[in-house]
Amino acid sequence: MLQGDFTELAEAYVHRPAYAAPVIDLIVSMVRSVVRSPVVADVGAGTGKLTEMLAARGLAGVAIEPNQAMREQGEQLHLRGFTWFTCRAESTGLASASVDWITMASAFHWADAPRALAEFHRVLRPGGFLTLLWNPRDLTHDGLQADIERDIAAIVPDIRRRSSGGAAYTDGLEDVLLGSGFRDLVFLEAPHIEEMTRERHLGAWRSVNDIRAQAGEEKWATILSAIEARLGEQKQIAVRYRTRAWLVRKG
């Protein structure tokens, strides 16, 4: 499996959590305080985890996803107001100055940042908004998830996470955004708990690309077995997450 290729994982993506509702509500309110009916482009939309939340709040626009299998899963949601396209963050296919708000959830780390940000400047209207967000597990307050992370490190000592939205990736992100010409940066973070069945929790892990791509199939099977062992007889697992979001405006 190649890093960044989610073709084989698209069906498992349904098990992943949504984002913290208070964070999404606040950002939507901030954008709507400037643009009452913003046209949104959800870039790297995947299977529509964030797109679905935006549609539920009455927003409309386009969902852009380069992977066919992921896009097909998103299209099955039949989200009112959103049209799906096959393009990339670096070349969205959108007209210049055509959208008011670009969102990118758990995806910016796969993009070529300088090219993507230049493209976002091109397609945003004056004063338009950009939101980058992630949904990492809260390893500080969730002992089970911290134990699982240690198990993974023991099985694949040289593992390098591509990004889970943690500090290892996001340190310096503010400088990148502001240095590219965006302004008025706001950072939001909120905890949330996702109640999962055992099957869903394991399904969410099966949707992970970067660990599997680096570990190889044999060690990946060992990792999944270690996670099952950690779960023991638990039928319900309360997984702690922290939605982290960066909001900026076009300068």
Q: Which residues contact 173 (CB under 8 A, 6 or more apart)?
A: 132, 246
Q: What is the tens place of the pLDDT at every residue in 8-31?
A: 877 888 899 999 999 999 999 999
pLDDT digits (tens, 9 = 90+) for 156-198: 999 888 767 878 889 999 999 999 999 999 999 999 999 999 9
> How far separated are the first and last CA of the chain, in Å rounded?
39
What domains appear along the chain, each with residue ranges and CATH number?
A: 7-136+163-192+242-250 (3.40.50.150)
pTM, two decimals, is 0.93
Q: Which residue has the tokens 């499996």?
A: 1
Compute the distance between CA of residue 31 and CA of residue 27 in angstroms, rounded to an integer: 6
Q: What is the pLDDT of residue 132?
A: 98
pLDDT value at 1 more than 70:
no
What's the rounded mean pLDDT across residues 69-90? 96
Average pLDDT rounded to a whole number, residues 215-234: 95
The percent of residues in the chain predicted with pLDDT above 70, rounded, is: 98
Residue 12 to residue 213: CA distance in whole angstroms: 16
Count the neighbouring beta carbons within 10 Å of the beta carbon of residue 94.
22
